[in-house]
Amino acid sequence: MITSTLDGVSVSTQASVYFDGKCVSHGVTFPDGTKKSVGVILPATLTFNTGAPEIMECVAGSCEYKLAGTDVWLKSVAGEQFSIPGNSKFDIRVTEGFEAYHYICHFG
């Protein structure tokens, strides 16, 4: 199932812009204090570092990702998600000519 709305949340109106605008996200806080981010990655190959564990949920478009310590690119499409351990990193690739990767990042 694809998450299409997040109800009852506070949204940061100031965007976080990374990699010269290739990744733009907004912070979301739930009433219980849970934090997530909602964003988009434009065509590029980027490397992200994690503090806490993360789950990347694809809500539109697609990407390929490669976790630290592996050489295998895996695909994630709308309705799918993948997990990244804390204190790690991952590469994400959005291919030119395809729809941008729209995501919700769930912080653990």
DSSP state of 79: T
Q: In 3-state terms, the chain is what percent helix, strand and coil (to 5)?
A: 5, 55, 45
Q: Label residue 3 by pLDDT band (50, 70, 90).
A: very high
Q: In the predicted model, is pLDDT for residue 108 greater than 80?
A: no
| Domains of the chain with bracketed CATH | 14-39+53-107 (2.60.120.10)
**Which are the contacts of 31, defined by CB distance < 8 A and separation ≥ 6?**
8, 9
Q: Average model confidence (pLDDT) for the chain?
A: 96
| pLDDT of the residue at 12 | 96
Q: In the predicted model, is pLDDT for residue 57 greater than 90?
A: yes
102 vs 69, 72, 86, CA distance in Å?
A: 25, 22, 22
